[in-house]
Amino acid sequence: MSRGAKGIDKLVLIDPPVSGPGRREYPSKLPWYVDSIRDCTRGADIETMRHYCPTWSDEQLRLRAEWLHTCFEPAIVQAFEEFHSVDIHQDFPGIEVPTLLMCAGKGGVIQDEDRAEIRTLLPTIRISTAEQAGHMIPWDDFEGFFAAFEDFLGTQL
């Protein structure tokens, strides 16, 4: 988000993929996404979804089962492939707005060495962690998600 990004005053990156060419793979595998979408297309229930997301509540699983079939599989595949073919690190030095990187404490997506590298690329970045959350931060730790914003948006949420 360079200075010319109209209407953007602050940027929050919530546990983004930091994989890319020459980097470690994204921790989840493509079949997890594709198979769960296909299962939902065939009418998956909560128990089927529990196989994919064992820590989620029944309500979260019900929502996932209800809506996942609306995902356009080719777009999901392309996005996943770009986790490995596009390196977001190249974009950090060009960010000119205040930026918060929120990491999932139990997600495995962003590790300590990633935090250090990102801080080198964008020294002004604020980094927070939702310690009790996996990658789906607001579903894993609703209160921790809001706490991890700290006062970045001008007030405690």
pLDDT digits (tens, 9 = 90+) for 104-150: 999 889 999 999 999 999 999 999 999 999 999 998 899 999 999 99
For 46, the domain range is 30-76
Phi-psi bin for 90: left (phi > 0), alpha (psi -120 to 50), beta? alpha
Is residue 82 in a domain?
Answer: no
Judge if 17 and 50 occupy the same domain. no
From 61-65, 99-103, 146-150, 152-156, the region with the lowest mean pLDDT: 152-156
Is residue 40 in a domain?
Answer: yes
pLDDT of residue 3 exceeding 70, the answer is no
Q: What percent of the chain has pLDDT over 70?
A: 96
* Tens digit of each residue's pLDDT (9 = 90 or more) over 70-93: 999 999 999 999 999 999 999 999
Give start and end residues of each alpha helix (H) in the chain. 30-41, 46-52, 58-67, 73-85, 112-121, 137-140, 142-147
> Stretch 55-72: mean pLDDT, rounded?
93
Domain count, the chain: 2
pLDDT of residue 5 exceeding 70, the answer is no
Is residue 139 in a domain?
Answer: yes
